[in-house]
A and B are shown apart, each in its own frame.
Chain A
Amino acid sequence: MTIALFLEQLLNGLQFGVMLFLMAAGLTLIFGVMGLINLAHGSLYMVGAFACAVVAAWSGSFWIGLVASLAAAAAAGAIVELVVIRRLYTRDHLDQVLATFALILIFSEGTRWVFGSIPLYLDIPTLLQGTVPLPGGSRYQLYRLAIIGVGIAVAIGLYLLITQTRLGMRIRAGESDREMIGALGVDVATLYTVVFALGAALAGLAGAMVGAIQSVQVGMGEPVLILAFVVIVIGGIGSIRGALIGAVLVGVTDTMGRFLLPQAMQLFLPPSQAGLIGGAIASMLIYLLMAVVLALKPRGLFPAQA
């Protein structure tokens, strides 16, 4: 194993983490402001990917597709919030779990109804195709660098939004005291719809960007959803900063585990066995990480104030 390969894998872990952050940011924002567990966040990710694939195929441009994915996911989020979610804020987490679980079923089967069961085609734009050289002689995919870039941009954007704008001020107020901001004359209902749509748009953006290098199909949101939950729980629910750090931690742990554990096992096992056992442990690693973090810090690494 060379240093170059090690660095490349670190970069892969970072990129995976950044992708998870896009999902987790919306999830943690929605929880932080409205106190809502949204299992259907993965469905919004799927909506973004499908919108991007369909519009890109129709218009011939990935970029138009990307815009469409933001719009479609935000619209889907807003509609869901207006019709269903706003009735759930006062309920306990159990009702939220059941309602959003039902939404997953509806979104998945509804999407299949419209688009069929065959995965859709979505490729990365010509501008971002190909690889760039890395120090040490290896090459790295340009598109993955772009994902890292977008992730960092979103993180900075969210930071500015929350600390510098009026909307951000209300979001912070909503996080610390939900009843109070209503009493102060802030239109809470609209604020919630906007925050939900914003979280949905972030999920849709993640879906579209990831869809270009993965498979655009019904059910694509579920594995990511579980990982995103792991991320926000490790980071501390409601904390954007926690989500970013949690995401990178999970991304790097997962990637390095998959890469290093089978090799470590080879020290005392035949290659085929080492691959099997190393792989098995690697697949449990992030859950182990989560259990350890919560055992030491029961409210995550960066607990929100509330």
Chain B
Amino acid sequence: MKKTLGALALGLTLGLSAPAMAENVKVGMITTLSGGGAGLGIDVRDGFMLALKNAGANNIEVVTEDDARKPEIAVQLADKMIQSDQVDILTGIIWSNLAMAVVPSVVAQDKFYLSPNAGPSPLAGSQCHQNYFNVAWQNDNLHEAMGAYATKEGFAKPFIMAPNYPAGTDALTGFKRFYTGDLAGEVYTQLGQTDYAAEIAQIRASGADSIFFFLPGGMGIAFMKQYAQSDVGLPVLGPAFSFSQDILGAVGDAALGVKNSSQWNKDIDNEANKMFVETFQAEYGRLPSLYASQGYDTANLIIAAAAKADVKDADAFRAALKEADFASVRGDFKFGNNNHPIQDIYVREVVKEGEVITNKIIATAFEDHQDAYAGECGM
């Protein structure tokens, strides 16, 4: 009942702000629904669909397809959605390497692409494009926030670690951009590695006073479980990716006390967020993750822009997107010159609420933070 009322309320506000009937929009969602990392794609999709349902947005039609985390399949689906389904907007991709495969050719064909997750640096800098909007973050942002937090907390010898691939080197570069002190060690692990005994032994021997790591998905789960068992006991810092709601259940108590950076958490105090968290739980029976919040915001951005302009009028629609005139679950949200968000980034701590392991905001790392590549973008 509450849910219906909430949906009605938001529907009303949107209806009032829209001068005319919103035009029809066709959205193609390419996301990862099978294979490794499917949990992220499912969360983005569920958040996106929930926003449409909450807003009663019947004018937005969504075609969803599974990329199985393979760049070739993602490229093929993008071709199909543009050539066959004739979509106006594409969205949904989770991984940077898939985004790099799909986005440049999509925007070159005068379609819009809204990224609900990946934010590789070339797309924020030298290869930025007026039709590409990132509704999540630039890849470095959360790592930069942890670097700033480590500096502020007075850590003097962090040990930093990430997998040996572009997102991994970007992560450590991002951290070092805002933490310029000494390092106890800097280690690149193998992508997909699941045993971290060797690295933990090095951490123990290194004389570090803290650990910063970026190990997405199963790698992070494995590291945290093994680390907690090793009795090293140093404070752990990381981006939200290894401590998002979809992963915490598998890590268990081993994650308690970890500080991690995120642009969103379920306790951010605003109406849109309250409704999002409440309706998400009612609809899907689980707590939302930051990926779900990004999918939700992406859908609401489209709804808001479609209420202002016809998607067939590319210039007007682009301007409407750029205004970002929607109630983000993160609170303040605006786009910078390169169509990437300027937003606050928080530090969260993993806590136990009753039986559920989840995150609580304990500090703000950045206010109105913009990415480091905006200057390289010609827009």
Contacts and interface: CB of A to CB of B under 8 A. Distances in A.
A–B contact, 8 Å CB criterion (strictly below): yes
Interface of A: 1-2, 4-5, 8-9, 12-13, 15-16, 19, 108-109, 112, 116-121, 123-124, 129-131, 138-139, 141, 143-144, 210, 212-220, 223, 255, 258-259, 262, 271-272, 275-276, 278-280, 282-283
Interface of B: 34-36, 38-39, 42, 164, 169, 172, 183, 186-192, 194-195, 197-199, 201-202, 204-205, 217-219, 221-222, 225-226, 229-231, 246-247, 249-254
A213 B201 contact: no
Interface centre among B192, B219, B250, B253 (most CB of A within 10 A): B250
Contact of A9 (B198, B217, B226, B247): B198
Given A143-B229, A214-B194, A262-B187, A276 B201 contact: no
A121 B250 contact: yes
B198 A12 contact: yes
Nearest to A251: B195
A298 B219 CA distance: 35
A8 B229 contact: no
A8 B200 CA distance: 10
16 contacts: A9-B198, A118-B246, A118-B249, A119-B250, A121-B252, A131-B229, A214-B194, A217-B221, A217-B250, A223-B194, A255-B197, A279-B164, A279-B187, A279-B188, A279-B189, A283-B164
Contact of B188 (A9, A216, A220, A275): A275
B372 to A, nearest CB: 17
A141 B226 CA distance: 9
Given A139-B231, A276-B169, A276-B188, A215 B221 contact: yes
A9 B200 CA distance: 10
B228 to A, nearest CB: 9
A255 B189 CA distance: 11
Nearest to A122: B250
A218 to B, nearest CB: 7
Given A141-B197, A214-B222, A218-B36, 11 more contacts: A5-B202, A8-B201, A109-B34, A118-B249, A119-B218, A123-B253, A141-B229, A214-B194, A258-B198, A276-B188, A282-B190
Contact of B221 (A119, A141, A278, A279): A119
B239 to A, nearest CB: 17
A215 B252 contact: no
B189 to A, nearest CB: 7
Nearest to A276: B188
Contact of A117 (B38, B198, B226): B38
Contacts of A116: 39
B218 A214 contact: yes
A138 B231 CA distance: 11
Contacts of B250: 118-121, 215-217
Nearest to A217: B218
Contacts of A123: 225, 252-254
B34 A112 contact: yes
Nearest to B169: A276
A216 B194 CA distance: 11
Contacts of B172: 272
A219 B219 CA distance: 13
B164 A213 contact: no
B218 A117 contact: no
B38 A112 contact: yes
Contacts of A283: 164, 190-191
A214 B187 contact: no
A227 B217 CA distance: 20
A280 B163 CA distance: 10
A262 B197 CA distance: 16
B230 A131 contact: yes
Contacts of A138: 201, 204-205
A119 B247 contact: yes
Contacts of B36: 217-219
A66 B132 CA distance: 50
Nearest to B219: A215
Contacts of A217: 36, 218, 221, 250
